[in-house]
A and B are shown apart, each in its own frame.
Chain A
Amino acid sequence: MKTDARLPSWLTKPLSDPEETRLVRRTLASHRVNTVCEEARCPNRGDCFARGTATFMILGDRCTRDCRFCAVSHGEPRDVDAAEPDEVASAAAALGLDFVVVTSVTRDDLEDGGAEHFASTVRAIRRELPAAGVEVLVPDFRGSRESVDTVLWSEPEVYGHNVETVERLYGGVRYGADYGRSLDVLSAAAGSGALVKTALMLGLGETREELMRTLGDVRDAGAEIVYLGQYLRPSSAHHPVERFVPPEEFDEIRDECLSMGFAWASAGPFVRSSYRAQEALAAVEERRRAACGREQ
């Protein structure tokens, strides 16, 4: 029996039943909203849709950047749909979500990078689902502190910005981005008191030493939640996978993250920044409550 498959055995998922995901697909289609689950062809979308959840992607479906690891379409973006915040809120309500994750394509063509649209979306979700938690995963807004603040003022429960990889690889896989600028986004959000989250992909060619230095940098910048997953190549035109990281190595790295002081760390081959995102918030809030109890 052959065991030398193209992908290692730990990167196998069961072929999901389309019946289990039909409700979510129909709801998303009827509200004409985009999800990063579908646009990025996330390997977890079957699991998430079957659990009745999805991660919304706003500001259209075309990114103005062309990261070498990303499956989202890039090119000339369309006009921003002013009805999108309400449609996202309505779709989240139709799905009965009690935790809503919103991300976007990067819109370098917009003066504010889409920050006001992000904030409008958070506020629309608040109106529609007052009890729901909201997590945003924002682009770097080309370093605009004003745009970072615009989203902060909408008061999401979790403020996410992904550094994605180590500094050395930015030039090769993340055109238009800047490592220091991404750290600045994290520190600006953390400085305002937000619960800050970031994520990295492993297997793009980083060394363990570079990874640990990066984790130290994002922790120093104020990130309290970190997610680490295996980079998977969307197509042969994308950056190749340099290494498949075994599950036990992810476990080791997660433990190291916790010892570095992160309040929550998720690490595993299929971990993605918004996968089961609510679990992190719940755990961090529980820790904070426990810490308050000890101080009183």
Chain B
Amino acid sequence: MLKDIVLEAGESEASEFTLSYWKVDPGAAVHEGDELLVVESVDDKTALSVVSRHSGTLAEILVNEDETVRVGDRLGRIEAA
């Protein structure tokens, strides 16, 4: 079953982020808690990593590196194991 990777609000007060880079490639196995990608915003002092809520395979990347994303956006999809 395909599960969305969604950018959650977290502690950041930023509304807009830049997707810096993906840490896994499409087709790669992922486990719940693995870091999938990193985003940055001008309002945060650190880069923030988005972790996987599911175990399975990274099926699809919906947002590419350097693109702008907002809280709630779908970033990719995982084929859950």
Of the stretches A10-18, A27-35, A114-122, A249-257, the one at the interface is A10-18
Evaluate contact between A15 and B42: CB separation under 8 angstroms: no
Evaluate contact between A6 and B49: CB separation under 8 angstroms: no
Q: Among B22, B23, B46, which residue has its beta carbon within 8 angstroms of that of A13?
A: B46
| Shortest Cβ distance from residue B40 to the other chain A in the assembled complex, whole angstroms | 6
CB-defined contacts of A43 to chain B, threshold 8 Å: 44-46
| Shortest Cβ distance from residue A185 to the other chain B in the assembled complex, whole angstroms | 27
Evaluate contact between A6 and B11: CB separation under 8 angstroms: no
Using a Cβ–Cβ cut-off of 8 Å, how many residues does chain A contribute to the interface with B? 27
Asked whether B35 is an interface residue with its Cβ less than 8 Å from the other chain, the reply is yes
Asked whether A235 is an interface residue with its Cβ less than 8 Å from the other chain, the reply is yes
Evaluate contact between A18 and B38: CB separation under 8 angstroms: no
Residue from A11, A41, A49, A270 with most neighbouring chain B CB atoms (10 Å): A41
Chain A minimum-CB-distance residue to B39: A15
Evaluate contact between A15 and B49: CB separation under 8 angstroms: yes
Interface residues as binary, B2-31 with A (CB distance below 8 Å gives 1, 0 otherwise): 000000111111000000111101000000
Evaluate contact between B49 and A13: CB separation under 8 angstroms: yes
Asked whether B62 is an interface residue with its Cβ less than 8 Å from the other chain, the reply is no
Chain B minimum-CB-distance residue to A12: B47
Asked whether B80 is an interface residue with its Cβ less than 8 Å from the other chain, the reply is no
Evaluate contact between B11 and A45: CB separation under 8 angstroms: yes
CB-defined contacts of B10 to chain A, threshold 8 Å: 15-18, 46
Asked whether A290 is an interface residue with its Cβ less than 8 Å from the other chain, the reply is no
Q: A94 vs B66: C-alpha distance in the bound complex, in angstroms?
A: 43
Asked whether B32 is an interface residue with its Cβ less than 8 Å from the other chain, the reply is no
Q: Among B8, B40, B42, which residue has its beta carbon within 8 angstroms of that of A236?
A: B42
Asked whether B51 is an interface residue with its Cβ less than 8 Å from the other chain, the reply is yes
CB-defined contacts of B51 to chain A, threshold 8 Å: 14-15
Interface residues as binary, A24-62 with B (CB distance below 8 Å gives 1, 0 otherwise): 000000000000000001110110010000000000000
Q: Among B25, B35, B38, B50, which residue has its beta carbon within 8 angstroms of that of A5?
A: B38
Using a Cβ–Cβ cut-off of 8 Å, how many residues does chain B contribute to the interface with A? 26
Evaluate contact between A15 and B47: CB separation under 8 angstroms: no
Given contacts A5-B38, A11-B46, contact A16 B21 (CB under 8 A): no
Evaluate contact between B48 and A14: CB separation under 8 angstroms: yes
Asked whether B73 is an interface residue with its Cβ less than 8 Å from the other chain, the reply is no
Asked whether A7 is an interface residue with its Cβ less than 8 Å from the other chain, the reply is yes
Asked whether A214 is an interface residue with its Cβ less than 8 Å from the other chain, the reply is no
Chain A minimum-CB-distance residue to B64: A2
| Shortest Cβ distance from residue A17 to the other chain B in the assembled complex, whole angstroms | 7
Chain B minimum-CB-distance residue to A40: B45
| Shortest Cβ distance from residue A4 to the other chain B in the assembled complex, whole angstroms | 8
Of the A-B pairs whose beta carbons lie under 8 Å apart in the complex, a sample of 29, sorted by A's number, is A1-B21, A1-B23, A1-B25, A2-B65, A3-B21, A5-B20, A5-B21, A5-B38, A7-B46, A12-B35, A13-B46, A13-B48, A14-B49, A14-B51, A15-B11, A15-B12, A15-B39, A16-B11, A18-B10, A18-B11, A41-B13, A41-B43, A41-B44, A43-B46, A45-B11, A46-B10, A232-B45, A235-B43, A270-B46
Beyond the given A2-B20, A14-B35, please list 16 additional residue pairs across the A-B interface where CB-CB is below 8 A.
A1-B21, A5-B20, A5-B21, A5-B38, A7-B47, A12-B46, A13-B49, A14-B49, A15-B12, A15-B48, A16-B10, A18-B10, A41-B44, A43-B46, A49-B11, A234-B45
